[in-house]
Structure 1
Amino acid sequence: MSDKFEACHAITAKWEGGWSDHPADPGGKTMFGITQATLSAYLGRPASDREIRNLDRATALAIYRERYWKRVAGDELPAGVDLCVYDFGVNSGPDRAVKSLQAALGVKADGWVGNLTLKALAEQADIARVIADLCDRREIFLRGLPTFSRFGKGWLNRLADIRNRAMRMSRGAPQTPPVIAPAEGTAKAVPAPPAEKTVSTEQKVGGAAAGAVVVTTTLGPVAGFWRDNKDVLSDPIFLAVAGVLAAVVIFMLLRRPKTVEEQA
């Protein structure tokens, strides 16, 4: 477990709180910020109400590291940016957090931290500007959610704390005393899932978990290679060169050799 992860998660964990089951929270039943759907995907099967209620901190920490910190490439991000992206990802989804970072950097927003994203970050002379831009984008997203009137105050308090701490991290300044976050944590800042009257919540969770297992098992290596090299593989120049090489190979394979009579 990296020191960067420990430092960032210690801040995020205070805002995620312990047990929560607010009827208006899109996350539903949540323990330490881990939703029942997330636990189901991690286990590879539907998690019961009892399992999410009794989730232990060690398992929650493992889930955060594998499904959030690694997903946003936290170890590769500059100090301060790592906290911003990680906390955003935990609260609203890693894909949305990374795309917002990429939009702030002016690179293709594909939801994966690859070579182009890291290069753009390395070339940034003003990391504080990136942090401010990312936090501004997060606030715009929060204010557009239908549950903002109910949970907005908590979300904005959390965002203000993350912004302040991320700025201090970027300057190498010591952290301020811990904030007093709500004991029940803050609600998940994600769009509410569409209502499906013909499918139960348990079936949806089970189906998502089963699908995750199949994809991870059969496509894991391919997905990992694509994720790590997507920036290069999707570059127009690379695609053009690859197309020319493919055409040459196909031409060589399909070229009919001359018969003895044709050679005479």
Structure 2
Amino acid sequence: MPETDFDFCADFTLNEEGGYQKNPADPGNWTGGAIGQGILIGTNMGISAPCLRGWLNRVPTEADMRGLTESMFSQIYADLFWTPCGGAELPSGINLMVVDEAFNAGEETSLRQLAEVRSSLTPTRLIAPLFAMRLQATLGVRADGIIGPVTLEAIAAADALDLVHICALGSLQDNAYRQDAGFAEFGTDWLGRTARRVTSAFQLSNAARKAAS
């Protein structure tokens, strides 16, 4: 088990991403961020060509992309995703939901989802039935996907607001992927990653709560 939240989150994202690939039909493989713009250098460990260009502050080569190491991945993850998203300041588990979503769907999208959850007076209303059932199973109440008085009482008794926020974020992320133009091609992977993200976020949050008790 990684020793820090950063390690846990970076490991999760790295494990979700593949190795080197060079697809001319993918805008993220081009240094200009659009098909045919700049140089086709591919992606590696989920790091896009424009992302590497921004981190290096110069136009990268294919050799630069192929030569990425896990240590470099961790530094890019810290500089371009963890720090801008405030990963160190976010509660355990919520930081994974926000930073991995930023890595996969963009920082603006992820932070907008976080703001929606945090500004809601009743974040449980944002939770889709599938994620409500996950929350209920964790709390030890009937997993029927309907958050009523029994579930609300269990949330309060367990002081589990962070788990509520994780499920609300998962629901918003799941729905956003379903509305994306690329859903027909990539939807299964996106939804699977979201489900695994929620599971891992629960693990991280529960570990932090146990350590604090």
Q: What's 1:11 paired with?
A: 12
- Mean alpha-carbon deviation: is it higher for 38-47 or for 52-61? 52-61
Instruction: Give the TM-score, by structure 2 length.
Output: 0.68
Q: What's 2:84 paired with?
A: 71
Check conservation: 1:88, 1:94, Cα contact below 8 A: yes
Distance 2:203 2:169 in 1: 15
- The yes-or-no answer on 1:128 pairing with 2:129 is no
How far off is 1:79 after superposition? Answer: 1.0
Aligned length: 157
CA RMSD, aligned part only? Answer: 2.1
Task: Considering Cα pairs closer than 8 Å and 6+ residues apart, tell me whether 1 or 2 has the greater RCO.
Answer: 1
> Which of residues 90, 103, 109 in structure 1 aligns to 2:103?
90
Distance 2:185 2:194 in 1: 16
> Which of residues 138, 141, 166 in structure 1 aligns to 2:173?
138
- The yes-or-no answer on 1:103 pairing with 2:138 is no
- The yes-or-no answer on 1:21 pairing with 2:27 is no
Cα 1:153–1:26 change in 2 (3 A) is farther
Distance 1:27 1:145 in 2: 16
- The yes-or-no answer on 1:51 pairing with 2:52 is no
Distance 2:90 2:181 in 1: 31
How far off is 1:17 after superposition? Answer: 2.1
Give ranges in structure 1 of 5+ residues lacking alignment: 108-123, 174-264
Distance 1:153 1:26 in 2: 20
Secondary structure of 1:20 counterpart: coil
Distance 1:170 1:24 in 2: 38
How far off is 1:165 after superposition? Answer: 1.3
Residue by residue, what CA displacement relative to the aligned partner does 1:74-105 show, whole Å, maximum 9, x if unpaired? 11111110110111011011221111101111
Give the share of equivalent positions with the same residue, in percent: 30
Cα 1:23–1:133 change in 2 (3 A) is farther
- The yes-or-no answer on 1:158 pairing with 2:193 is yes
- Mean alpha-carbon deviation: is it higher for 38-47 or for 53-62? 53-62
How far off is 1:54 after superposition? Answer: 2.0
Q: What's 2:33 paired with?
A: none
How far off is 1:22 after superposition? Answer: 3.7
Distance 2:119 2:76 in 1: 30
Secondary structure of 1:74 counterpart: coil
Q: Which has the larger radius of gyration?
A: 1
Distance 1:65 1:156 in 2: 25
Instruction: Give the TM-score, by structure 1 length.
Output: 0.55
